[in-house]
Chains A and B, each alone.
Chain A
Amino acid sequence: MTTLSGAFFGVIHRDLSIAMRHRGDLLNPLFFFLIVVTLVPLGISPEPARLAAMAPGMIWISALLATLLALDNLFQADFADGSLVHLMLSPQPLWLLVLAKIIAHWLVTGLPVVLFSPLLGLMLSLPEAGFLPLLLGLTLGTAVFSLLGAVGAALTVALHKGSVLLSLLVMPLYVPVLIFGTSAVQRAVDGMSYGGVMAMLAAASAFTLLIAPFAAAGALKVGING
């Protein structure tokens, strides 16, 4: 018989091995993230003071857009080749399998962005105090992006050219995360405490972790039939 943990880790393992075989797709959001941030000093000003002022916002905005870029593929590819049906017809609870897919998605899109963010902070001469809140905030924030994005991706799974609608759906939900994320870094740079803002981000990620898998599973059941 199938087991809960077997199905859960099976889905994560499969999605990671698929990602490893499509390294181009894997690197696409990360390259986007790197390119946007490296172009900022060239396009605006190489002056450290001006860069430092923009660094939190620039890094957060490009991280948001990078995860948005990869969101489309979360359920779309499985829908197109028919394997999404197998996922939905498993006797195991669908929300758990959806959560596994979201975790795999975060590991290949969110985590690289988080890991590269200190390097980009350095390139944008982000003051030293900003690095820890940037790392922490992005870890929590990209998790929220993947979780909330999954609901939108599930709703638009059967729509042709659903990616525009997907961006419109999830973008307003991403805005509070962006505001809290950048303000945490900004407050740290300005020498203020950022604990409260970070707690809001943590609360947001805990809340979406509880709600999003169920919402995405429900949305898939509706979305798969167009």
Chain B
Amino acid sequence: MSSQALLEFQALTFERDDWPLFSDLSGAIKVGEILQITGPNGCGKTTLLHILATIQPINVGTLRWKGSDISQCHQSYLADVAFIGHKPGLKLSLTPRENLQWLSKLQPLNRCTSAEALARIGLAGFEDVPCYTLSAGQLRRAALAVLCMTQARLWLLDEPLTALDVQGIADLETLLLAHVEQGGAVALSSHQALTNPAVRTLALDAMAEAEL
């Protein structure tokens, strides 16, 4: 019984313009682990995360959440997954607080208030300024503030380290570690190596080369 695997993917194959991005990709994201998806640009890291988040429909293969097929438990899966894409997903004309409050209407984000989350992620004092005045790194932090608030067990993060400074990366790693220690799981794509010991790597380029 694979009770430890939160999300399993089996025999995933994805083609873009008749060119296979990855084929027969299988694996699992287990409780208490950080899965880092690595590979060169254009190898399908974002596509894989989109498939795992069910944004991109699956061509070939299956996705299982806590042992049952994803199509049978889609609503409960969505309530238990936090996805942050490489676009921050923030409205530039709204403030970070307004953005987070809007998100908390859509997703279960009630572990703490938006002000507490922004303070923890290093944006204290920036709660009520429009997002267009923030720098790229501050925007990324505002997007990641969702992680302080979410109750989701599975975090899917696409390039979360982009534009973050050294302190920001350290803060994020602390967050990730705290999450997996509490029985959560994380899948993220990144080119940078994390210092975290719990990280397991899934290299997409190695797969592609093996295919060739």
Minimum CB–CB distance from A104 to chain B (whole Å) comes to 12
| Chain A facing B: main interface SS | helix
Query: Chain B interface secondary structure, helix, strand, loop or mixed?
Result: loop
Bound-complex Cα distance A221 to B78 (A): 15
A21 within 8 A of B: yes
**Cβ–Cβ < 8 Å partners of B103 in chain A:** 86
Question: Contact at A82–B88, with CB atoms within 8 Å?
Answer: yes
Q: Tell me whether B108 and A82 are in contact (CB under 8 A).
A: no
Residues of A within 8 A of B105 (CB): 2, 6-7, 9-11
A69 proximal to B (CB < 8 A):
no
* Residue picked from B98, B106, B107, B108, most chain A C-beta under 10 Å: B106
Determine the interface band of chain B, counting residues with CB < 8 A from chain A. Answer: 20 to 34
Beyond A91-B75, A225-B56, is A83–B90 a contact (Cβ under 8 Å)? yes
| Interchain nearest-CB distance for B70 vs A (Å) | 13
Across-interface contacts of A85 in B (CB, < 8 A):
53, 55, 83, 85, 87, 89
A14 touches B94 (CB 8 A): yes
**Residues A91 and B93 in contact, CB atoms below 8 Å apart:** no
With beta carbons under 8 angstroms apart, the residue of B53, B93, B102 that contacts A89 is B53
Compute how far the CA of A2 lies from the CA of B105 in the bound complex, rounded to whole angstroms: 6
Q: How far is the CA of A90 from the CA of B56 in the complex (A)?
A: 15
Residues in chain A near residue B87, CB distance under 8 A: 80-82, 85
Could you give, for residues 25-55 of chain B, a 1 whenever the CB lies within 8 Å of some chain A CB and a 0 otherwise? 0000000000000000000000000100111
